[in-house]
């Protein structure tokens, strides 16, 4: 992923730099000084990354923000957030001006109602979705949010354990090699190889089998995501006033792949609508479809849950092409995020000086825990209770999400309505301002984590294992920090009442995949791991890292 697009990003950056200078001069002349409140606010706020003074210096700062956002944010965090507890302004091309970075003491604001602070537009603008998915309604209508919140319930996540375990096994055997190839080392691109497994496993929960194994669909969704993220990165580096002009052009390849994906998925959508209608006629009590009912007939996957939700919003939402579009939007976001986390975890583990200790420690845990669940006829990893007990595996993924996070600043919130937002201490934020949290700086702050720059895979599981051994030891209660636990020091799934509702599913599925990997393969680096780079707010994923691995002997399986 991504690598193919990096060249085009660089080329576009050069062009954009020139255009941007013109824009800055232009917009400065035009800026209406009517908005006094706004000007006063920005001028009173501390700023990082942009020297005060002339336009050229300011422009240089903004262009610099394309690649130095991480550095600028850390600087501001240390200078203003820590100690002084003050927000600061971070200039960025994302909004074309600046965003306000809040100190951790303002984390409670994420719980403000949507009518005051909304994260919706920032989320969409992050990947510039409207250029790729032409249907405004699909973008704005939050039916698939509703499905994530209401149908991806604890019980349905539990029920996914068996199918995803099966898919993990099949995908690894097919893609990484089975016992026939045991003992043969292979060299591969780590990002692609980890991502390919996750794409299939995630697709199993989205559309079920056998569609999750359809090579054409897998290939096309990958190409769609690649071209979307590449183009979105370029659009985000472009001055906002130019975006409507170049956005649609840059979006063409993604739209082409998107249309082909939809063509494959539409017949399946029609079939699922038919199943649902048939089911409704049979038993009118089960109006809400397969999600929370005792239902063995309807497939238990995202696509099937989506259909009654769409029907609930009105007949116009039952258009199969529209539902297919929703599937595509969903698939792109979640497969990318899950692949990012899984690939990063595997690479962080392999790149650690303590790799052998971590890998064998996890393998030991997996064999010990799964042995307890062997008798249930499902195979250990298909058992959700077994997966829940894999604390080391859980910790390794959480730790990778901490040190190898996707964004420099996250949890964006726009001040909406016409009331300004009083942050206290004399800072009053005018409407139209975007607020963000310095997630990466927090994740790497020694006040939250000892030895914060070290990837310590068992950082979070060590205290939990101690608690298990000395159940009655006093003061050990607070030690439980699982992958899904939200704390001020770990914001990778968000914080507060709008935190990610998909995180239990993510945790269960990624743990299954990592557990399978450490039990069945020896794995290591086959090349250097370059230092991670920033493009705007995004940490560019390690797409070039080479891994070597081989299947362990069959006698060790299961
Ligand atoms: C590794 C994978 C994932 C990561 C890192 C992740 C991260 C996040 C974060 C940080 C937020 C909060 C955004 C904010 O407060 O501004 C969020 C929200 C959300 N996530 Fe996830 N997510 C992942 C996977 C998923 C999956 C698989 C689903 C659904 C199947 C999902 C569904 C959602 C939804 C619906 C929201 C919006 C919640 C709301 O606004 O009420 N996520 N996610
Ligand atoms: C994928 O699914 C489509 C649509 O159902 C079908 O026509 C095609 O043959 C499938 N391709 C593969 C490789 O399974
Ligand atoms: C669902 O299944 C459970 C356990 O199998 C049973 O006790 C319950 O009565 C069932 N509910 C319905 C609505 O059939």
Domain range annotation of the chain: 4-131, 136-405+449-487+492-556
Q: Does the CB atom of residue 147 touch ligand 1 within 6 A? A: no
Our CA angle for 82, 88, 89, nearest 5°, is 150
Q: Please choose from 492, 502, 512 the residue to mutate so as to test ligand 1's pocket, defined by most ligand atoms within 8 A of CB.
A: 502
For residue 254, the model assigns a pLDDT of: 92
- The tens digit of pLDDT for each residue in 141-161 reads 678 788 888 888 888 899 999
**How far is 359 from 357, CA to CA, in rounded Å?**
6
User: pLDDT by residue (tens digit) across 198-256?
Assistant: 999 999 999 999 999 999 999 999 999 889 888 888 888 887 888 888 899 999 999 99
Do residues 12 and 237 touch, judged by C-beta distance below 8 A? yes
Architecture of domain 136-405+449-487+492-556 in this structure: Orthogonal Bundle (1.10)
Query: Could you tell me the distance, in angstroms and rounded to a whole number, from the CA of residue 294 to the centre of ligand 3?
Result: 6
> Can you give the pLDDT at residue 379?
65
Contacts 24+ apart (CB under 8 A), 170-175: 170/200, 170/213, 171/196, 171/197, 171/200, 171/201, 172/197, 172/513, 172/516, 172/517, 172/520, 172/521, 175/200
pLDDT at position 3, please? 47
List Cα–Cα distances, 403 to 192, 269, 439, 442, in angstroms: 21, 39, 10, 10
Tally of CA atoms within 13 A in the half-sphere of 538 that contains its CB: 21
Residue with tokens 């979705």, as numbered in its chain: 129
Establish whether residue 493 lines the binding site of ligand 1, counting it when its CB lies within 6 angstroms of any ligand atom. yes
Extract the tokens encoding 348.
């962080």
Over the chain (558 residues), the average pLDDT of each successive run of 10 is 51 55 47 63 81 64 76 93 91 81 95 88 78 79 81 88 95 91 90 95 94 94 89 84 89 93 96 92 59 66 93 92 90 88 97 97 94 68 92 98 93 91 90 94 96 97 78 56 96 94 96 96 93 85 92 63
Contacts 24+ apart (CB under 8 A), 98-101: 98/42, 98/47, 99/409, 99/412, 99/433, 99/434, 99/435, 99/436, 100/45, 100/429, 100/433, 100/434, 100/435, 100/436, 101/73, 101/76, 101/77, 101/409, 101/435, 101/436, 101/437, 101/438
> What is the per-residue pLDDT for 29?
40
Annotated binding-site residues read 500
pTM of the model: 0.89
Tell me which DSSP letter residue 81 carries: I
With beta carbons less than 8 A apart as the criterion, state whether 30 and 255 touch: no
496 Cα to the center of ligand 1, angstroms: 12
Q: What is the pLDDT of residues 265-298, one digit of tens each?
A: 999 999 999 999 988 887 555 555 545 555 557 8
- Say which ligand is closest to the CA of 437: 1
Contacts of 92 (CB under 8 A, 6+ apart): 62, 65, 69, 98, 99, 536, 537
What pLDDT is recorded for position 394? 98
Closest ligand to the CA of 332: 1
User: In this predicted structure, what is the pLDDT of residue 12?
Assistant: 57
Give the pLDDT of residue 108.
Answer: 95
Binding residues for heme: 500
What local confidence, expressed as pLDDT, does residue 93 receive?
74
pLDDT score for 146: 85
Percent of the chain scoring above 70 in pLDDT = 84
Which ligand has its closest atom nearest to the C-alpha of 271? 2
Strand pairing category for 98-101 and 434-437: parallel
- The pLDDT assigned to 2 comes to 46
Which pLDDT score, from 0 to 100, does residue 478 have?
56
Residue among 208, 221, 260, 264 whose CB has most ligand 2 atoms within 8 A, to mutate: 264
What's the pLDDT score for residue 168?
Answer: 96
């Amino acid at each position: 992923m991504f690598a193919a697009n990096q060249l085009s990003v660089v080329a576009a950056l050069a062009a954009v730099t020139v255009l941007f200078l013109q824009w800055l001069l232009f917009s400065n002349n035009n800026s209406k000084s009517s908005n006094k409140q706004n000007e006063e606010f920005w001028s009173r706020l501390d700023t990082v990354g942009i020297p005060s003074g002339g336009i050229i210096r300011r422009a240089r700062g903004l262009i610099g923000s394309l690649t130095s956002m991480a550095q600028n944010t850390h600087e501001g965090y240390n200078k203003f957030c820590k100690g002084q507890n003050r927000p600061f302004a971070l200039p960025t091309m994302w909004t074309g001006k600046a965003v306000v970075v809040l100190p951790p003491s303002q984390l409670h604001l994420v719980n403000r109602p949507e009518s005051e602070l909304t994260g919706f537009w920032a989320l969409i603008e992050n990947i510039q979705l409207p250029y790729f998915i032409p249907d405004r309604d699909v973008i704005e209508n939050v039916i698939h949010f509703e499905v994530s919140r209401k149908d991806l319930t604890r019980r349905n996540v539990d029920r996914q354990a068996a199918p995803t375990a099966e898919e993990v096994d099949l995908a690894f055997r097919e893609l990484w090699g089975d016992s026939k190839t045991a003992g043969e080392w292979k060299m591969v691109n780590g990002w692609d190889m980890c991502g390919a497994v996750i794409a299939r496993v995630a697709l199993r929960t989205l559309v079920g089998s056998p569609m999750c194994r359809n090579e054409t669909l897998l290939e096309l969704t990958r190409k769609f995501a690649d071209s979307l993220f590449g183009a979105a990165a370029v659009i985000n580096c472009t001055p906002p006033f130019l975006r409507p002009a170049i956005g649609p052009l840059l979006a063409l390849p993604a739209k082409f792949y998107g249309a082909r994906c939809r063509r494959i998925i539409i017949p399946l959508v029609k079939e699922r609508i038919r199943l649902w209608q048939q089911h409704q006629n049979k038993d009118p009590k089960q109006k809400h479809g397969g999600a929370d009912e005792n239902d063995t007939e309807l497939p238990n996957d995202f696509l099937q849950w989506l259909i009654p939700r769409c029907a609930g919003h009105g007949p116009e939402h039952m258009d199969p092409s529209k539902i297919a579009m929703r599937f595509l939007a969903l698939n792109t976001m979640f497969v990318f995020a899950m692949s990012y986390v899984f690939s990063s975890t595997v690479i962080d583990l392999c790149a650690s000086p303590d790799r052998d200790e971590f890998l064998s420690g996890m393998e030991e845990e997996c064999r010990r825990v799964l042995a307890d669940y062997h008798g249930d006829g499902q195979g250990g990893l298909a058992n959700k209770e077994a997966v829940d007990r894999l604390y080391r595996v859980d910790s390794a993924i959480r730790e990778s999400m901490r040190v190898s996070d996707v964004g420099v600043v996250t949890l964006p919130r726009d001040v909406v309505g016409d009331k300004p937002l009083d942050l206290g201490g004399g800072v009053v934020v005018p409407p139209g301002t975007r607020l963000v949290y310095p997630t990466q700086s927090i994740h790497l702050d020694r006040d939250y984590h000892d030895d914060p720059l070290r990837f310590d895979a068992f950082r979070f599981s060590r205290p939990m294992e101690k608690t298990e051994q000395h159940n009655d030891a006093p003061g050990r209660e607070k030690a439980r920090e699982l992958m899904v636990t939200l704390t001020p020091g770990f914001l990778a799934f968000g914080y507060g009442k709008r935190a990610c509702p998909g995180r239990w599913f993510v945790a269960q599925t990624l743990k299954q995949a990592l557990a399978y990997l450490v039990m069945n393969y020896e794995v290591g680096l086959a090349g250097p791991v370059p230092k991670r780079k920033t493009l705007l707010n995004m940490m560019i994923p390690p797409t070039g890292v080479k891994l070597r691995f081989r299947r362990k002997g069959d006698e060790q399986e299961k």
